[in-house]
Amino acid sequence: MAYFAKPGKMRWEYVSPEANLYIVDGKWSWFYVPEDHTVTRVHAKESVDSRTPFALLAGEMKVSRICKNVLTDKSAPVVDPHGVVLRCGLRGGDELAPVRSTAQEVASSSQGPYVLFELNPATGELLRVRVVDPGGVQVEFQFANWEFDPRVDDSKFHFAPPKGVAIVDGDLDPSPTANVRTAR
């Protein structure tokens, strides 16, 4: 299940391949892995995690903050025969392509991280997101059964680490400056 709310809030509950929880409360991004007894906390505006593009759905983040460029990618496969795919060259990585590149040049480039957003042009609904890192590792999310403006209690967007869970302050990339502590 995924929930998005303004300003800049998101809750993403994973069941498979393992249970975990990702929450953006407007200030912090929390990634909790119950099996590992750890939670990683990053300032939401500094996160480079692959789920960060979903902050766009919460209405807090600007496309220009995440994307160097956005182009239609007619070569990308679609999950819906009427779907339209937009390719976002992510900021912070190697240059994907020059700003004036054609869609074909961008699609043929394998450098730099990017995200593909597939939309239903008739409804504007998001159908799929594929995040591709510089090494070619891909994570794909597919969406269906959107509900707009459902009642969601604000507590869904808050995270309180359970007792004994290690809290890692910093980006999800290992860093010698990361600060680790335990919830009491």
Which domains can be identified in the chain, with CATH numbers? Answer: 1-61+153-184 (2.50.20.10), 63-147 (no CATH)
> Which tens digits make up the pLDDT trace of 53-95?
555 565 555 677 778 889 999 999 898 998 999 998 887 654 4
User: Can you give the pLDDT at residue 49?
Assistant: 55
* Confidence bin at 48 (pLDDT 50/70/90): low
* Least confident among 22-36, 77-91, 103-117, 140-154: 103-117
* Least confident among 18-32, 94-108, 168-182: 94-108
User: Can you give the pLDDT at residue 165?
Assistant: 93
Residue written as tokens 């919830």? 183
With a CB cutoff of 8 Å and minimum separation 6, the contacts of 157 are 3, 5, 9, 10, 11, 23, 24, 25, 26
User: Can you give the pLDDT at residue 71?
Assistant: 92
Whether the Cβ atoms of residue 116 and residue 76 lie closer than 8 Å to each other: yes
For residue 173, what are the CA distances in angstroms to 59, 99, 128, 176, 178?
26, 28, 25, 10, 9
* Confidence bin at 158 (pLDDT 50/70/90): very high
What single-letter amino acid sits at 168? V
Whether the Cβ atoms of residue 113 and residue 133 lie closer than 8 Å to each other: yes
**Of residues 2 and 157, more confidently modeled:** 157
User: Can you give the pLDDT at residue 170?
Assistant: 73
**Of residues 114 and 102, more confidently modeled:** 114
Q: Is the pLDDT of residue 7 over 90?
A: no
What is d(CA 120, CA 100) in angstroms, rounded to the nearest whole number? 26
User: Can you give the pLDDT at residue 111?
Assistant: 58
**Of residues 51 and 3, more confidently modeled:** 3
Residue written as tokens 């392509």? 97
DSSP, residue by residue, 49-95: -TTGGGGGGGT-S-HHHHEEEEEE-TTS--SSTT-EEEEEEETTSS-
* Confidence bin at 160 (pLDDT 50/70/90): very high
What single-letter amino acid sits at 88? C
